[in-house]
Amino acid sequence: MSHNIDEYITRFLEYVEIERGRSLKTVRNYDRYLRRFVAFSGVKHVEDITDEGVRRFRLWLNKQPSPDGGTLKKKTQNYYLIALRSFLKYMAREGIPTLSPERIELASVSSRDLDLISGEELERLLEAPEGDDLKALRDKAMLELLFSTGLRVSELASLSRDIEIEKDEFSVRGKGEKVRVVFISPSAREAVKKYLAARKDMDDALFIQLGPRANAEGDARLSPRSIERIVKHYAIKAGISRKVTPHVIRHSFATDLLQNGADLRSVQAMLGHSNIQTTQVYTHVTDRQLRDIHKAFHGKRRK
């Protein structure tokens, strides 16, 4: 019995969305990656996926142009392979014979360098919002909360004003609808309290647009893109030459914890990473610190 691949891709995408709780963006990406494989390979049935077909697809991917004028980066090529491997795992789960998912090997990619700012630059960034007007108080609270919690920008944007700010922690729903606990530093709690005390509106969102645009657009909640623009504004004001985004502040949160002795598993939990390998990228930063310690203290008694 043959199994139509288009039908089973649809079933797989429904499984990813409903059973695995992945975001609609992830589902759309998986759909695009898998449909491209099917269009290239001409595969009609799940059983027709072969090593040779995957090999030819990888060669084709490697020659595809990228927006920057070069060819598709290895990391981007891996997105297609991850989607295909996940689909094959689903087929195995359903008991449908096809290529083993273990046959899909990802392309080797060099360890990525983190976009980091120094501790002194971070301090300048956090102090950049000045004054007691509502905008300055909002932006100060936003920056302090980003660094205190390590939230993703989408998670920050989705916060409601009814978070229990007097406590040292609150729950947030992150990727894959997974709930985790994040923690509030004293400086972040104080900044958020000042901001909320100055609010006169009744909007449910924690971080809102201010001025005429808020009224014109109806929904007062700040979007992730708006938060990114605000962070960029204060980075320039703080005299930081490199690009600074909310994700850079998230990097600073993680490296600050690790450099001060936190273990990798704890940082993984606080970041909301489902895989420890995602968190391990930060060890490259602490590895440099360990090298400095080794040079300073190792072998000093030897002649």
Please write the tens of the pLDDT for every residue from 58-108.
Answer: 999 999 888 777 888 888 899 999 999 999 999 999 999 999 999 998 877
Average pLDDT, the chain: 87
Answer whether residue 213 shows pLDDT above 70.
no
Predicted confidence band of residue 215 (pLDDT cuts 50, 70, 90): low
pTM of the model as a whole: 0.64
Q: Which of 85, 138, 250, 251 is catalytic?
A: 250
Fold classification of 5-103 (topology level): DNA polymerase; domain 1 (1.10.150)
Q: Which of 285, 284, 253 is CA-nearest to residue 269?
A: 253
Active site residue 251: no
Between these two residues, 159 and 219, which has the higher pLDDT value? 159
Q: Which of 11, 175, 233, 237 is catalytic?
A: 175
Domain boundaries, the chain: 5-103, 119-292
Measuring CA to CA, how many Å separate 154 from each of 75, 121, 125, 175, 207?
23, 24, 20, 9, 12
CATH among 1.10.443.10, 3.30.450.90, 1.10.3720.10, 3.30.470.20 for 119-292:
1.10.443.10
Q: Which of 152, 189, 221, 251 is catalytic?
A: 152
pLDDT score for 111: 52
186 CB neighbour count, 10 Å cutoff = 10
pLDDT score for 135: 96
User: Mutual orientation of helices 134-149 and 119-127 as an angle, nearest 10°?
Assistant: 150
Active site residue 250: yes
Active site residue 273: yes
Name the residue with tokens 């995957």. 54
How far apart, in whole angstroms, are the C-alpha atoms of residue 222 and residue 292? 42
